[in-house]
Amino acid sequence: MNRGPIAEIDLSALQHNLSILRNITSEKPVIAVVKADAYGHGAVPVAQRLQDAGVAMLAVAFTGEARKLREGGIRVPILVLFDRGDMEDYFAFDLTPVIHDRRTALRLSNEAVSRGCRLPVHLKIDTGMGRVGLSADQAVSDVLSIVELPGVEIAGLMSHFSEADLADRSYAEKQIGIFQKIRQELSGRIGKAVICHMANSAASLSLPLEGFDAVRPGLLLYGYSPLETQCGLRPLMKLSTKVLAIRNLAAGSPVGYGRTFVTKKPSIIAVVPIGYADGFSRYFSNNGVMLVRGVRVPVVGRVCMDLTMIDVTGVDGAAEGDEVVVLGQQCGETISAAELAGRAGTIPYEILTSLGNMAKKEYIN
Ligand SMILES: *Cc1c(COP(=O)(O)O)cnc(C)c1O
């Protein structure tokens, strides 16, 4: 559903970020993560650009997302990270599931055999994330029993970092150690060459990755680094709307629900048609910023479902219909998803998915 805000998505920045990644990782094959509608950027156009740029594979969370990509004409291999047992789709749309347990492997194998085919799968090992995956202490025997299944073919082995974004690398290194040990014990016993991958954005940008065959980043493709340094990445998304109304309020006027803001002096308040229903968090109440005519202006009062008020007293000539930038650049000023995340007590991932998924998208090549 599209409401007022418009998200302009700059696909040339995607290309730029992919080049930065390829430089840093010495051209390792890329499994590009496009789950949650490409982190709010629109999965099909983003995937199309990534396909043109030659990524090895795409990764989504659920089969419904993969189906949308196939129906949108995407042909590169697609990894489905979080299996829910939607077996039909794996076969119908030529998808590669990630398997987390033997039971699912067996079920898939039986289905493949009954269809007279063999399904490539990637196996996930839990090396310390504590989410999904074969338990590390049983991984070797589990993998070896899955190798025996006639209907599945192990094409990849993977794991996931819990805290590769921290300056303290010790836990990430411990996870790598566990993964490599399992891999070594398996070497020569899985039959075919399998690709091993573990690195999300943070690890791709900061950890030595010898011993891995591919990287699996999401966030950095969209122009944000989970690390302290931005690494030269360029954000893709600009989110804007237009001033709905301008109010001239006397000193002492309350603004919005609960009168949490009261003007201290005669003020010009602009009403902006974006609210928490558009993914603009209520945590931005008396705490957010927006750009109008290149000036940073504060959110005043509580964010409503559809509307937010900003104080434009300091903006020369602010008028109804003026562009309001919620995320991105205007006349050299910038509001980044990292800044918004800091203000709302969350992470850029959540800012991008909440704002992007509700907005009408326009693409710039
Ligand atoms: C989301 C996800 C990624 C990508 O993580 P980023 O931090 O966005 O790079 C990689 N692997 C798995 C399993 C994921 O769920």
pLDDT tens series, the chain, 365 aa: 568 899 999 999 999 999 999 999 999 999 999 999 999 999 999 999 999 999 999 999 999 999 999 999 999 999 999 977 678 999 999 999 999 999 999 999 999 999 999 999 999 999 999 999 999 999 999 999 999 999 999 999 999 999 999 989 999 999 999 999 999 999 888 877 799 999 999 999 999 888 899 999 999 999 999 998 889 999 999 999 999 999 999 999 999 999 999 999 999 999 999 999 999 999 999 999 999 999 999 999 999 999 999 999 999 999 999 999 999 999 999 999 999 999 999 999 999 999 999 999 999 99
Q: Which of 124, 192, 257, 349 is catalytic?
A: 257
pLDDT in tens, 89-126: 999 999 999 999 999 999 999 999 999 999 999 999 99
- How many whole angstroms separate alpha carbon 354 and alpha carbon 345? 14
- How many whole angstroms separate alpha carbon 308 and alpha carbon 287? 12
Query: Residue 86 C-alpha to ligand 1 middle, in angstroms?
Result: 21
- Which residue has a Cα nearest atom 10 of ligand 1? 200
Candidate from 159, 161, 200, 350 with most ligand 1 atoms within 8 A of CB, to mutate: 200
Query: Residue 137 C-alpha to ligand 1 middle, in angstroms?
Result: 23
Q: Which of 28, 35, 238, 361 is catalytic?
A: 35
Residue 15, class by beta-carbon neighbours within 10 Å (0-12 exposed, 13-18 middle, 19+ buried)?
middle
Say whether 242 is catalytic.
no
Q: Note the pLDDT of residue 188.
A: 87
The response to whether residue 235 sits with its C-beta less than 6 Å from ligand 1 reads no
The response to whether residue 218 sits with its C-beta less than 6 Å from ligand 1 reads yes
Candidate from 165, 216, 225, 236 with most ligand 1 atoms within 8 A of CB, to mutate: 216
* Paired residues of 363 in beta bridges: 9
Query: Residue 199 C-alpha to ligand 1 middle, in angstroms?
Result: 8
The response to whether residue 81 sits with its C-beta less than 6 Å from ligand 1 reads yes
Say whether 181 is catalytic.
no
The response to whether residue 160 sits with its C-beta less than 6 Å from ligand 1 reads yes
| Three-state secondary structure call for residue 354 | helix
- Which residue has a Cα nearest atom 4 of ligand 1? 218
Q: Note the pLDDT of residue 192.
A: 72
E-assigned strands of the chain?
6-10, 31-33, 57-60, 78-80, 95-99, 119-126, 134-135, 152-158, 195-197, 237-242, 245-249, 254-255, 261-262, 267-272, 289-292, 295-300, 308-311, 323-330, 333-335, 360-364
The response to whether residue 206 sits with its C-beta less than 6 Å from ligand 1 reads no
For residue 98, give every residue at least 6 positions away whose Cβ sits within 8 Å of its Cβ, in sequence order, or none: 79, 80, 81, 82, 83, 121, 122, 123, 124, 158
CB atoms within 10 A of CB 279: 22
Report DSSP state, residue 321: T
Atom of ligand 1 nearest to the CA of 39: 8
Give the residue carrying structure tokens 């082995």.
157
Query: Residue 176 C-alpha to ligand 1 middle, in angstroms?
Result: 16
**pTM for this prediction:** 0.96
Candidate from 34, 81, 196, 231 with most ligand 1 atoms within 8 A of CB, to mutate: 81
Atom of ligand 1 nearest to the CA of 226: 7
